[in-house]
């Protein structure tokens, strides 16, 4: 992984109830998208997202 320097800024980018997302800015000017899921293992976090993104059934009236 390249050396991007120290983190110089952080901004909350939102997230559903299971996880949060942040954008970190480094000394080099690069921005990193970081997702956290405190209390959840990664498999559970991504499984929940997969379930939530399944197409919804649309009713036609």
- The continuous run of DSSP H or E covering 48 comes out as helix 42-52
User: To the nearest 5 percent, what fractions of the chain are helix, strand and coil?
Assistant: 20, 35, 50
Confidence (pLDDT) at 36: 83
Confidence (pLDDT) at 1: 74
Confidence (pLDDT) at 56: 61
| pLDDT per residue as tens, the chain (61 positions) | 788 899 999 999 987 667 788 999 999 999 999 988 777 777 777 777 777 777 665 545 5
Q: In terms of Cα–Cα distance, which of 49, 56, 47, 6 is closest to 30? A: 6
Strand partners, 33: 23
Question: Given CA atoms 56, 59, 60, 61 in this order, what sign does their dihedral have?
Answer: negative
């Amino acid at each position: 992984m390249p050396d991007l320097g120290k983190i110089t800024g952080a901004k909350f980018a939102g997230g559903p109830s299971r996880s949060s997302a942040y954008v970190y800015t480094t000394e080099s000017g690069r921005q990193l998208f970081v997702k956290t899921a405190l209390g959840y293992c990664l498999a559970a976090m991504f499984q929940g997202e997969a379930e939530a993104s399944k197409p919804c059934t649309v009713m036609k009236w």
